[in-house]
Structure 1
Amino acid sequence: MKSNVSAILPEGGPRDVKLWLRLLSCVNIIETELRQRMREQFGSTLPRFDMLAQLDRFPDGIKMGELSRLMLVTGGNITGLADSLEKEGMAVRVYDPNDRRSCRIKLTASGKQQFDLMAAAHQGWLNELMAALPVKEKDQLYTLLGNFKSQFPGM
């Protein structure tokens, strides 16, 4: 039997905790599945995929610091991922001829090709994982979460 949470929980308090835990559990379930599939099919990690996705948005490259800000990770994490991608020929650093301390990183043709394969698989996995949710409910959830997110300016 379904419980009517709004009837039994006061505003705030436990309701907010339950909502947070529900959101977190959904994210964790999906992320765990995506992580496993990314590792099995491409020998890759989600942070690496996320970096490739960001690089794909900037065909002329992006400064490492800006990439760090967009991905909400430290510069050290970006440097490690960049080193790995560069070693594999998937990305290249382009240094500013006027300031060797400043560089941009961008996808190579090989990196773009690999990312396109990964992105298509990723989209398919998400479609599969969310298939049970009717389109109308997906749209409603998207709107509700967008409204909620708008309460956090700058995020």
Structure 2
Amino acid sequence: MLQKGAKRHYIDEQKVPYLVLGDQWVGYEDEESVREKVHYLRMHGINGMMIWAIDLDDYKNYCNKGSYPMMHTVIKALKDTENLRPEDKAGMIKDNKFCFRKKAGFYADPSNCRNYIYCGSVMEKYTGHCNKGHRWNDTKKSCEVDQSNSCTQ
């Protein structure tokens, strides 16, 4: 469609691209939208994702971005702790004592009910914050509304 003059658009709220050509439009994924989805997973403590159809990735390198560019983007984004957006890095602190001998994953911050700690590989520690009115649910590994209003930190 691009070769025929389609225009690329991006819905920032949904973090997805789409193309428009005349009265035709098509939504699709690209490296940017895939990175955003992985970022969303990481910031919400979601421990998995599903790829609908790996055979729809460019396994033959038709687009000259290498074989399986979407899968490689997912893998790189999952491993990348340095490429968080600045607004997400604020409040994340590196420290390794808490994570000593812990498996990679999310943990409750024992000093603050609104905080959570992510222990990465090589004893990396990142502390994140739930929004006001929310608290960390260590069972679900995500922020949730503080129904009891007991989290005052």
Fold match, TM over 0.5? no
Interval of TM-score (by shorter of Structure 1 and Structure 2): under 0.3
Tell which has more relative contact order, 1 or 2 (C-alpha 8 A, sep 6+): 1
When the two structures are superposed, what TM-score results if normalisation uses the length of structure 1? Answer: 0.22
Greater helix proportion: 1
TM-score, structure 2 as length reference? 0.22
Q: Which has the larger share of strand? A: 2
